[in-house]
Structure 1
Amino acid sequence: MSEKDRQIIQQLKQSLLHLDEALNLSIQMLKENENNKKTISAVWEEFLSTLFGRIKSKANENNLNLSKLIPLPKLTRFFKI
């Protein structure tokens, strides 16, 4: 494994720690007051839109198709209700 691989993994692990924190806070807020649902939904929608927008933007800037790194069917299985 190269040094760049290790750097990527480390950065993503740190991101996951922050995501876990945000998830825990979101859940706590929902448990405390169901009326927080609208606010929390808006925050998470904005976050996910920004995340996928940045991925798309960086891919376009660099003439890469980053969406092929993780096939859509693998992503959609997490959103099945």
Structure 2
Amino acid sequence: MKETTVYVCEICKTRYANRQEAEKCEAAHIKPKKLTKSMKFHPYKSGKDPTFTRYEAYQVSQYPDWIDIEMQDGNTVRYKR
């Protein structure tokens, strides 16, 4: 039987045969620093549209359409659903 060691990037879960490559991968990822106050919600009444399914109505007013996140390198990135 042969035993092998695998190194896994803790950010993206990619597997590597050597430790240095896994460390390079982890260092290459720019991680979120904080959630900014910039986000877009719909008013709760917008979920009452009769053409929406129950799930769609819940999603529309409960969760933001987009959020801005400040990254460790100082850039702000917008994520949309």
Higher helix share: 1
Query: Larger relative CO (CA 8 A, sep 6+): 1 or 2?
Result: 2
When the two structures are superposed, what TM-score results if normalisation uses the length of structure 1? 0.24
When the two structures are superposed, what TM-score results if normalisation uses the length of structure 2? 0.24
Whose radius of gyration is greater, 1 or 2?
Answer: 2
Higher strand share: 2
